[in-house]
Structure 1
Amino acid sequence: MTKFGRYAFELGGALAAYIVCLVLSLRLLSVGGQGELMRLALTLLPMLPGLAICWVILRGLRRLDELARKIQLEAIGVAFAGTALITFSYGFLENIGLPSLSMFVVWPLMAGLWFVGTIIGQLRYR
């Protein structure tokens, strides 16, 4: 199995576990009748495979060669700075009446900017 194939397999498995835990958590919470501690545990259940996703990504980064790591570092820098600028700007816009956004918006924004940064880095170092 290639490095990318192994990474894709590991990430796919962790994402599948996340989806299963998310659906299970939401269904059990919608039934109700649990105590506060159980509701807390059910709410955070999807974070267990979330930790696995982080672990898989870090392992994938460690397997990269120097140039690929450099590209990823720059892409993460673009994602970090871009997410900060966009979320702070939107936070100020909320002061003039724009609706508040959920924190669930932050990660997809950062992931999208990471993807854009990766493409830019790959084009730059061709």
Structure 2
Amino acid sequence: MRWLGLLTIGLIAYVAMLILSQRLLARGTDSEAMRILLSLAPMLPSVFICVVIIRAIHRMDELQRKLQFEALALAFAGTALLTFGYGFLEGVGLPRLSMFVVWPLMAALWVVGVLIGRVRYG
């Protein structure tokens, strides 16, 4: 469960970087390059989180990998269908959603997929 500790560190770093970058952006800067760098700063811990997850999956046994694969497939397909479908609804007047909605949706569907897999293979 070492990966859980690393994941927690990554999430804490993400929140800290997000808060810091937003505060610095709120103060304002004249440099377009600096605004871009500050806006993208939270991506650094995000990359770390992705590496931790991938390494954790590499260390899993075959059944756990299969469960994760199926959960990720559900998350990928479900996110694609839901966001694509909502795009049509935007065309008939529903409010536009931010791209920030996509990752939480995918993560939620991944968790659902893992729970389904644990019931199925448990």
Q: TM-score, normalised by structure 1?
A: 0.94
Structure 1: give runs of 5+ residues left out of the alignment.
Answer: none
Say whether the 8 Å CA contact 2:71–2:110 is kept in structure 1.
yes
CA distance in 2, matches of 1:54, 1:21: 16
Structure 2: give runs of 5+ residues left out of the alignment.
Answer: none
CA distance in 2, matches of 1:107, 1:81: 13
Equivalence for 2:65: 69
Letter in 2 for 1:15: L
Q: TM-score, normalised by structure 2?
A: 0.97
Question: Residue 81 of structure 1 is aligned with which of 77, 80, 85?
Answer: 77
CA distance in 2, matches of 1:42, 1:63: 34
Q: How does 1:21-36 map to 2 (within 5 A)?
A: 21-36=17-32
CA distance in 2, matches of 1:56, 1:84: 24
Letter in 2 for 1:39: R
Identity of aligned residues (%): 58
Q: How does 1:86-105 map to 2 (within 5 A)?
A: 86-105=82-101
Say whether the 8 Å CA contact 2:29–2:35 is kept in structure 1.
no
CA RMSD between the two structures:
0.7
State the 1:125 CA deviation. Answer: 1.0
Q: How does 1:30-45 map to 2 (within 5 A)?
A: 30-45=26-41
